[in-house]
Structure 1
Amino acid sequence: MSQLYLLARVAGTAVAILTDEIEAAVRLRDIVPVPGAPAHVAGLSALRSRVLTVVDAAALITGESVAAPPGSEDGAYAVMCDVGGHSYGILVDGVDDIVEIETPPLPLCGRIDKIWEPHARAVIEQDGQSRFVLSIAALLEQCTQAQAA
């Protein structure tokens, strides 16, 4: 059974996200910082009459932000989603494509970088390139755990 994936980059790493988990891939130009928020919370943004909590995926995973800075002329790439009744914009380095993958995801084998262990769920192959499969819900769960710590 084939599945549809959004292909993107997070912290310089090729990733794939099931399209069932997302609403859209957008560019956010106006992100308002929230004083006292953790480093992985880039701020708030308004899009389509909704307020999004903007989470910097690279900052959450690696501790360093690599997405376009808020307010940049072109805006920052974000994956828009609703999880638990809340709207989020997940900042990514870039969005590459949306593709249908015929083969099922492969289990993670071997050693991967420790920073990706809590986030990568599986691997897909597309045009000879391996991509980690990320779950938005799991990523946001890590976000709330990081805030609680």
Structure 2
Amino acid sequence: MTELLLIVTLAGQRVAIPAAAVESVVEIESLTPVPGAGVHVAGLAALRSRVLTVIDCLASLELGVCRPDGIHEAIVVEVDGHPYALLVETVEDVLEFSGDIRPVRTTLSPGWRRVAKGMVEAGDDLLLLIDSDALLAGPAVQAA
């Protein structure tokens, strides 16, 4: 069975996200902060008369915080009827994938380990396959 993968750059790494999970690719121009939200929630943005919750993928991966100034690329996913925008560095391409998902055979930081579904061969590259729902969930809350 052939699946489409969206290739994006997150934290300087080319990764793959199942294209079936992606509603659209957009540019986010301005954000409204959300007081009290998790560190990975960058804010709210308007898109075609809809409010998007914008997720800072760097913060979700526990690799810092990237609060965008100006225009920033994002992919829109919908979960339980609610639209979310995942901030990414670049959106590269859509590729066909028909192989097997391989296990990750390298050491990953906790954030990457939490969102990784495995490795996929896309073109000539071996890319980390990302679970967009895990990116939305953000970093695990540490018990006090």
Give the TM interval when normalised to the shorter protein.
0.7 to 0.9
Once the two structures are superposed, residues 80-117 of structure 1 have per-residue CA deviations (whole angstroms, 9 ceiling, x without a partner) of 01102211001111111111112222122242333311
Taking the aligned partners of 1:44 and 1:97, their CA distance within structure 2 comes to 26
Query: Cα gap change, 1:4/1:147 in structure 2, threshold over 3 Å: closer, same or farther?
Result: farther
Cα distance in 2 for partners of 1:118, 1:128 equals 25
**RMSD over aligned Cα, in angstroms?**
2.2
Report the equivalent of 1:18: 18
**Aligned residue number for residue 143 of structure 1:** 138
- The answer for the alignment partner of 1:107 in structure 2 is 103
Cα distance in structure 2, aligned partners of 1:115 and 1:137 = 13
1:1-149 to 2 correspondences below 5 Å: 1-66=1-66, 69-70=68-69, 72=70, 75-140=71-136, 142-143=137-138, 145-146=140-141
State how far apart, in whole Å, the 1-side matches of 2:93 and 2:64 are: 24
Q: How far off its partner does 1:66 sit?
A: 4.2
For structure 1, list consecutive stretches of 5 or more residues without a partner in the other structure.
none
TM-score by length of 2: 0.88
In the TM superposition, residue 145 of structure 1 has moved relative to its aligned partner by 4.6
Structure 2: any 5+ residue segments left out of the alignment? none
Cα distance change of structure 1 residues 147 and 23 upon mapping to structure 2, 3 Å threshold = farther
> Is the partner of 1:62 in helix, strand or coil?
coil
Q: TM-score scaled by structure 1?
A: 0.85
Whole-Å separation in 1 of the counterparts to 2:81 and 2:140: 18
Offset of residue 47 of structure 1: 0.5
Describe the SS at the equivalent of 1:35.
coil
Does the Cα contact within 8 Å between 1:14 and 1:130 map onto a contact in 2? Answer: no
The CA deviation at 1:126 is: 2.1
Query: Helix, strand or coil: the match of 1:5?
Result: strand
What amino acid does structure 2 have at the position aligned with 1:143? G
Alignment check: 8 A CA contact 1:2 1:104 kept: no
